């Protein structure tokens, strides 16, 4: 993806039917700065891009709701908020690695992370891709994919890949198992090995591998299956599709509990205020975000696990 073109398309898409002059004034500028942004003569900073989103009725924080970040205290329309976002996306990644992935100097990356300078909008897009592989998700959360020619093909490919998770629920576990050191240590792929490790029928192994290969999520290197560095986030799917996938993993948890498998199967039936129930919901969301951050930084890959967390009112 060309981050510069994508940035210009995002500004144009968010502007909608407004004139460039009208949006410039809405942002507090006396000159037609939006024209210079869309024409490529100048470029907005990262916080200015978020201001464009906010001033056109969007929610910058909501665009990052499925990312492993906590933004309750951050104002993304400010340089400080952008620095907080970058710091959280960075996780445990070394500054030198951030710089290398984004094609900037270590000094520049360090200043971004300390809030001493601010990346341009295109640099922020490059950062998001380098640190999460999900810049397409981010862009589509800000504007319709039809309004973003730069991401249209990638979005269609992502949609196809996400559908694999719903049509073949075990494919995500198969994918994670391929990333483990035990599988990579095999002299070559052994049919049925993945199924035995996950305790699923061999037919699920075969169907999942075929679907993953068709979607470009795995490739055969002549000896074994290799995974591609692509993040497939199912949170962008419809409620009905996500519900089916959640039910699958609830059923798996129930089956493992009935079998007496090792694991943490906890519950707590409590009475509390409606206000505190909402606080618990917030804790639930933050737990899942923290889980993703920990997993993203975890090395080596040795075991595949399921975190099946539930919170609901009984009334």
pLDDT of residue 238: 76
Check: CB of residue 91 under 8 Å from CB of residue 293: yes
Q: Mean pLDDT over residues 161-172, rounded?
A: 90
Reference 44, options 5, 11, 87, 2; nearest CA is 11
Q: Is the pLDDT of residue 102 over 90?
A: no
CA distance 186 to 194: 11
From 94-108, 140-154, 300-314, the region with the lowest mean pLDDT: 94-108
Q: Is the pLDDT of residue 295 over 90?
A: no
Q: Is the pLDDT of residue 229 over 70?
A: no
Tally helices (H) and strands (E) across the chain.
16, 2
- Summarised one tens digit per residue, pLDDT across range 3-34 is 999 999 999 999 999 999 999 999 999 999 99
Residue 196: φ, ψ to 5°: -65, -40
Predicted confidence band of residue 157 (pLDDT cuts 50, 70, 90): confident
Q: Which residues of 262-286 are buried (b: 16+ CB within 10 A; e: fewer)?
A: eeeeeeeeeeeeeeeeeeeeeeeee
From 45-59, 64-78, 203-217, 253-267, the region with the lowest mean pLDDT: 64-78
Predicted confidence band of residue 285 (pLDDT cuts 50, 70, 90): confident
pTM, to two decimals: 0.70
pLDDT of residue 24: 96
Q: Is the pLDDT of residue 145 over 80?
A: yes
């Amino acid at each position: 993806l060309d981050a510069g073109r994508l940035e210009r398309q995002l500004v144009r898409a968010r502007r909608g039917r407004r004139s460039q002059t009208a949006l410039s004034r809405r942002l507090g500028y006396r000159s037609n700065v939006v024209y210079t942004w869309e024409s490529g003569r100048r470029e907005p900073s990262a916080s200015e891009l978020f201001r464009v989103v906010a001033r056109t009725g969007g929610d910058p924080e909501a665009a990052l709701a499925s990312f492993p970040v906590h933004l309750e205290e951050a104002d993304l329309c400010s340089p400080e908020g952008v620095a907080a976002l970058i710091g959280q996306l960075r996780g445990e990644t070394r500054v030198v690695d951030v710089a290398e992935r984004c094609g900037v100097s270590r000094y520049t990356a360090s200043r971004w992370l300390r809030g001493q300078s601010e990346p341009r909008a295109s640099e922020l897009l490059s950062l998001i891709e380098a640190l999460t592989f999900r810049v397409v998700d981010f862009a589509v959360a800000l504007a319709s994919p039809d309004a973003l020619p730069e991401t249209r093909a990638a979005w269609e490919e992502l949609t196809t890949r996400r559908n694999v998770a719903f049509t073949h629920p075990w494919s995500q576990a198969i994918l994670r198992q391929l990333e483990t050191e035990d599988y990579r240590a095999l002299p070559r792929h052994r049919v049925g090995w993945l199924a035995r490790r996950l305790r699923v029928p061999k037919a699920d192994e075969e169907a999942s591998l075929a679907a993953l290969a068709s979607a470009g999520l795995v490739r055969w290197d002549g000896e074994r299956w290799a995974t591609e560095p692509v993040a497939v986030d199912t949170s962008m799917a419809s409620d009905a599709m996500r519900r089916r996938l959640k039910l699958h993993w609830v059923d798996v948890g129930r089956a493992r509990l009935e079998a007496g498998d090792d694991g943490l199967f906890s519950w707590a039936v409590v009475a509390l205020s409606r206000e505190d129930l909402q606080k618990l919901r917030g804790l639930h969301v933050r737990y899942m975000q923290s889980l993703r951050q920990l997993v993203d930084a975890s090395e080596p890959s040795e075991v595949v696990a399921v975190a099946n967390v539930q919170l609901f009112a009984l009334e």
